[in-house]
Structure 1
Amino acid sequence: MSRSCTLDPETRDAVESFVGEWLTDETVPSAGVALVDGDDIVYVDGFGARGLESNAPATPDTLYGVASITKSVAATSVLQLVDDGHLSLSDPVTEHLPYFEELAESPTVHELLSHTSGMPSDGASVTLIARLLGEGTETAPLSSDADFRRHVRESTDERAAGERFFYYNTGYTVLGKLVEAIDGRSFPEYTREEVLAPLGMDRSVVRADPRDYDDAMTPYRVEDGELTRADYPVKGVGAAGGMLSTARDLATYLQFAMHGDESVLPDAQRELAQATHATRTERLDGPAERYGYGWMRRSFLDDVLVGHSGTLTVTSAYLGFLEDREVGVAVACNTAPDVHPMYVGHALLALVESEDPEDVVSFYALRAKCRRVAGTYKSFRSAATADIEPADGNLDVTLSTALGEETLTAFPETTARDDYQFYTVSAGGDRVPLTFEPTDSGGLDCYYRRWRLHETSG
């Protein structure tokens, strides 16, 4: 169902104000943002400074590390080889590569693509990226292809039975090596020649250092609210998360994801990549989030949101589109803020659809709700005092009486902004309500066990 969605001046202003506030409030140096409606790129721009030291402005063509968004490019590469008859999704990896040979039953190509191999994270990406950023002191041997093969081999004892979903970065690294083994070209060369260039993503590149390009991000780490310039961990990422791209190129990639390009990948294979192959996580606000091949699926705005996020400590990004409305968004930035580009992307889709992000985006609804109920509450004659602080979608509660303190975490019953029902769990396993009700004076009363506590000004 395609429809027109011109980005009118009012919506443009709302989008730009939202992004500007995000950069300011979350200590984000710069961002690239794109919006797609149907066949059209209706908005693309850069915000902030791609390098704080030079104050060089971000543009629609500024290169950012897009991290795990790369996985869908890797999946496209594998599916091209499947379509050409070079391998099958049901092939054990051992038919093509010297990985997992010590297992009685090798993971299949499908299982690596969908994170259903039963292999949990082996820590390779975390350890290596930390080392390359100067943060890691671990001495695990991860410097050569032989080291990597041994690391995978020695981690296979961790494999779990069944089709348990584990987000397994190493699986996509192996898939990149699978492409190389079958085609003969390096994974970066293959993706450039078979995926990126044919789509017109002329600035995008895999496994490259942004310092080698004009109009590229300077990576930053956020530490205690301050930005520290850092190197991009180019040697630590590849098929699992090593692509550099721009807002304009990501908009082009969105068009491919939404409408296809038979010269790159048959529609049947593209749709297979975006189909449900595993349950990734359950949600408070609706059906579970599902995983395909490098794409996630979840309900949003009475539609299906297909997308993927990515984070590499010094850069982060999000790409997603509403399946029926055919509206898409891309956001990338040169750090990894607490408020991830994924949440910003969801909020921008809401704004384009004339919705308040605090009403329809779970992250912002939870944050607004928790901020509203935060504060100090006192019972009759202050026999009990509750200090309540927001904490990542939950509440940290300290209840004080003359007999001592009780600390607890309260969890929301729903993601709705105006639903003030929370709960905690006692040491004996009881589910204990912690609720808030509006008063006639405009404040809130808090109810917990035997206590009724009134919101105070301090």
Structure 2
Amino acid sequence: MALAAPRAIAQIDRPTPDELAAFDAFADSFLTERTIPGALVALASGGEVVLTRTYGLADVELAVPVSDSTVFEIGSISKQFVAVAVMRLVEEGALGLDDPIQQHLPEIPSEWYGATVRQLLTHTSGIPDYEEIRSYDVYRFRLTPEEIIQIAHSRPMDFPPGTGWYYSNTGYVLLSRIVERVEGQPLGRVLATRIFGPLGMTQTRLADPEAIIPHRASGYWVDRTGALINRPPTETSSTLGAGGLLSSARDLARWDAALDGAALLSEASKAEMWAPVAAPGLEAPEYGFGWELAPYRGLRTHRHSGQVAGFTAYFARFPDQDAAVIVFLNRYQAQSWPLIERALDTLVPGLDPPE
């Protein structure tokens, strides 16, 4: 299916010079106080980045500043790409949302039988989260799918499939494997040929410590004394589509635009993807297929945060305003919400006052 070109840039309100100066001062102070090496904040509309603010260093040891071309690991924002890949296969009749997952992955533990593709997408499968069991350090190691399954299976099911909601990265590793099985090729190649290539997302790909990736930011953390330390890049095999992608502000702007119209999915498929999940006896957590859906201060949003062992990221679409906000930080556990909220206050018109 041919993908449509990005739509025209909308006329959106932009911050005044004084508002930007105040935000820059806040951001500089925020990074210094929290020992965050670098950050990028961007506003996108119409498939283009219309405003970018960059701060600090993409690589501390080489003193490379963050630029508008810097590529960051995006953590769980990756899940929405897997969700779209799944929905395209559903539209083509190659996969069913209510297929039991053992139909595509017969090697899974029998305890997981009966969980469906839909339940993996919505975190209602009850399959335990292997990251929670092994912590973010799990992303530093090369793991086989069998090893990830073994880690997750070391804990009993959180609940019977479809009877609860609990965030599980294991579900998106399994979805990645299902996509690979149906397509007959690795996930990175599927995403490149199905999504990234047609959209011109030339800076988005699965992470790989050994690959030469132009403009890649280094990831950091702090030790127990508060000193900045290096964190190794994420291993592709340890996370796949659960949290293994790198991207740039420009590429996420193109992704945002492609999600409007029928470039990637039909309106019916998108409505299903962006419908809050429901399960018996469960108050809807306002989560769809790889997207958080709760309104933000009066505005409709599709959004997700991301975190891996060297990076924190945030991507929020405001479809009624034709705007998207992107925040990248190259530090793990950065307590980033104050910066994200200040960015949203500065860049998105129409927000209700904070409570």
- Shared fold (TM-score, shorter chain, > 0.5): yes
**Contact between 2:42 and 2:52, CA under 8 Å: does it hold in 1?**
yes
CA distance in 2, matches of 1:70, 1:353: 23
**Contact between 1:306 and 1:320, CA under 8 Å: does it hold in 2?**
yes
1:229 matched to which residue of 2?
230
1:127 matched to which residue of 2?
134
Residues 21 and 273 (structure 1 numbering): CA distance in 2 closer, same or farther, change over 3 Å?
farther
Are 1:312 and 2:314 matched, yes or no?
no
1:245 matched to which residue of 2?
247
1:367 matched to which residue of 2?
none
CA distance in 1, matches of 2:106, 2:55: 45
Secondary structure in structure 1 of the residue aligned to 2:294:
strand
1:346 to 330, 341, 344: 341
User: 1:344, CA displacement in angstroms?
Assistant: 2.6
**Contact between 2:52 and 2:68, CA under 8 Å: does it hold in 1?**
yes
Are 1:31 and 2:39 matched, yes or no?
yes
Equivalent position amino acid for 2:159 in 1:
A
Residues 253 and 67 (structure 1 numbering): CA distance in 2 closer, same or farther, change over 3 Å?
same
CA distance in 1, matches of 2:135, 2:144: 11
CA distance in 2, matches of 1:219, 1:67: 12
1:118 matched to which residue of 2?
126
1:147 matched to which residue of 2?
147
User: 1:204, CA displacement in angstroms?
Assistant: 0.7
**Contact between 1:7 and 1:42, CA under 8 Å: does it hold in 2?**
no
**Contact between 1:254 and 1:319, CA under 8 Å: does it hold in 2?**
no
User: 1:26, CA displacement in angstroms?
Assistant: 1.6
CA distance in 2, matches of 1:168, 1:133: 18
Higher strand share: 1
User: 1:147, CA displacement in angstroms?
Assistant: 2.8
**Contact between 2:94 and 2:182, CA under 8 Å: does it hold in 1?**
yes
1:329-371, Cα deviation, whole Å (9 max, x unpaired): 011111124422x5433321212246899x52xxxxxxxxxxx
CA distance in 2, matches of 1:63, 1:74: 19
User: 1:116, CA displacement in angstroms?
Assistant: 0.6
**Contact between 1:288 and 1:298, CA under 8 Å: does it hold in 2?**
no
Equivalent position amino acid for 2:258 in 1:
F
CA distance in 2, matches of 1:143, 1:353: 41
User: 1:24, CA displacement in angstroms?
Assistant: 1.8
Q: Could you say which structure has the larger radius of gyration?
A: 1
Equivalent position amino acid for 1:304 in 2:
R
User: 1:323, CA displacement in angstroms?
Assistant: 3.5
2:202 matched to which residue of 1?
202
Secondary structure in structure 2 of the residue aligned to 1:201:
coil
Equivalent position amino acid for 1:91 in 2:
D
2:97 to 85, 89, 93: 89
**Contact between 1:125 and 1:237, CA under 8 Å: does it hold in 2?**
no
Residues 354 and 113 (structure 1 numbering): CA distance in 2 closer, same or farther, change over 3 Å?
closer
Are 1:98 and 2:100 matched, yes or no?
no
**Higher RCO (CA-CA < 8 Å; seq separation 6+):** 2
Residues 104 and 194 (structure 1 numbering): CA distance in 2 closer, same or farther, change over 3 Å?
closer
CA distance in 1, matches of 2:133, 2:111: 24
Residues 210 and 204 (structure 1 numbering): CA distance in 2 closer, same or farther, change over 3 Å?
farther
Are 1:19 and 2:20 matched, yes or no?
no
1:110-146, Cα deviation, whole Å (9 max, x unpaired): 000000112232x356527425659xxxxxxx84333
**Contact between 1:133 and 1:232, CA under 8 Å: does it hold in 2?**
yes
CA distance in 1, matches of 2:343, 2:139: 33
2:64 matched to which residue of 1?
56
Residues 353 and 10 (structure 1 numbering): CA distance in 2 closer, same or farther, change over 3 Å?
farther
Bigger drift between 89-98 and 170-179 goes to 89-98
TM-score normalised to the size of structure 2? Answer: 0.86
User: 1:297, CA displacement in angstroms?
Assistant: 1.2
User: 1:192, CA displacement in angstroms?
Assistant: 1.1
1:66-110, Cα deviation, whole Å (9 max, x unpaired): 000000001011111101110110111111112445138521000
Residues 131 and 37 (structure 1 numbering): CA distance in 2 closer, same or farther, change over 3 Å?
closer
User: 1:170, CA displacement in angstroms?
Assistant: 0.5
CA distance in 2, matches of 1:172, 1:44: 31
**Contact between 1:27 and 1:337, CA under 8 Å: does it hold in 2?**
no
Secondary structure in structure 1 of the residue aligned to 2:300:
strand
Are 1:302 and 2:298 matched, yes or no?
yes
Secondary structure in structure 2 of the residue aligned to 1:47:
strand
Residues 105 and 177 (structure 1 numbering): CA distance in 2 closer, same or farther, change over 3 Å?
closer
Residues 348 and 98 (structure 1 numbering): CA distance in 2 closer, same or farther, change over 3 Å?
same
Unaligned runs of 5+ in 2: 1-9
CA distance in 2, matches of 1:88, 1:209: 34
User: 1:11, CA displacement in angstroms?
Assistant: 3.5
**Contact between 2:315 and 2:326, CA under 8 Å: does it hold in 1?**
yes
CA distance in 1, matches of 2:248, 2:48: 17
**Contact between 2:139 and 2:239, CA under 8 Å: does it hold in 1?**
no
User: 1:206, CA displacement in angstroms?
Assistant: 1.2
Unaligned runs of 5+ in 1: 135-141, 361-415, 417-458
**Contact between 2:102 and 2:108, CA under 8 Å: does it hold in 1?**
yes
Bigger drift between 195-204 and 298-307 goes to 298-307
Same amino acid, percent of matched pairs? 26
Equivalent position amino acid for 2:134 in 1:
T
CA distance in 2, matches of 1:36, 1:153: 41
**Contact between 1:50 and 1:217, CA under 8 Å: does it hold in 2?**
yes
**Contact between 2:45 and 2:322, CA under 8 Å: does it hold in 1?**
yes
1:444 matched to which residue of 2?
none
Bigger drift between 84-93 and 26-35 goes to 26-35
2:76 matched to which residue of 1?
68
**Contact between 1:65 and 1:243, CA under 8 Å: does it hold in 2?**
yes
Residues 326 and 131 (structure 1 numbering): CA distance in 2 closer, same or farther, change over 3 Å?
closer
CA distance in 1, matches of 2:66, 2:86: 33
Equivalent position amino acid for 1:255 in 2:
A
